[in-house]
Amino acid sequence: MESLDDDTRTFILHFGEMGSHWGINRTVGQVYALLYLAENPLCADDIVAALGVSRSNVSMSLKELQAWRLVKLQHLSGDRRDFFSTPDDVWEIARTLIEERRKRELDPTLSVLRDLMLRKDEQDESHSQQRIREMHDLLEQSVRWSDDLLRLNPSTLKQVIRLGDGVRKLVDFGNRKT
């Protein structure tokens, strides 16, 4: 990593440290950060040289990033090696992350909640059944909302996100009045 400039190194190291919070290991985070900042697609050897990690660790990290659909495999004319890059559009990256996290986290939870709701007796309105239904409804609504957002084109999505700034100002103003 010595050949990288300070800002690039800081970005890569930070992504590596944040990996554990995001459910990935340090090397996966570092490989992704390096590919994200790279001007051109990189092969595994380039990644090994830049990060100073083992070839097997890079290979496993690239497989995980491919499973998440966060890197693209490319072939360059006249070169037999596999090259990797990230999508150029940050909104495409965000969409992919939302879709993949939903698939891995929300969908299985909704499935369990639906199964639990189907098991209940029609007369059974226990406290736990009510809470299960409330959790299901919240997650289901969140999924529908995120699906709606994912269908927006990037410029419309940016406008929707900017609406959050206006809402935050209204909330802050309302809180000062009380």
Confidence of residue 122 (pLDDT cuts 50, 70, 90): low
Query: Other CB atoms closer than 10 Å to residue 45's CB: what's the count?
Result: 11
Q: Enter the CATH code of domain 6-85.
A: 1.10.10.10
Question: CB–CB of 28/21 below 8 Å?
Answer: no
Q: What is the largest CA-CA distance in the chain?
A: 70
Which SS3 state, helix, strand or coil, does residue 110 take?
A: helix
Strand partners, 83: 43, 74
The pLDDT tens digits of the residues spanning 134-178 come to 999 999 999 999 888 888 888 888 888 888 777 777 777 777 765
The full set of domain ranges for the chain reads 6-85, 90-177
pTM of the model: 0.79
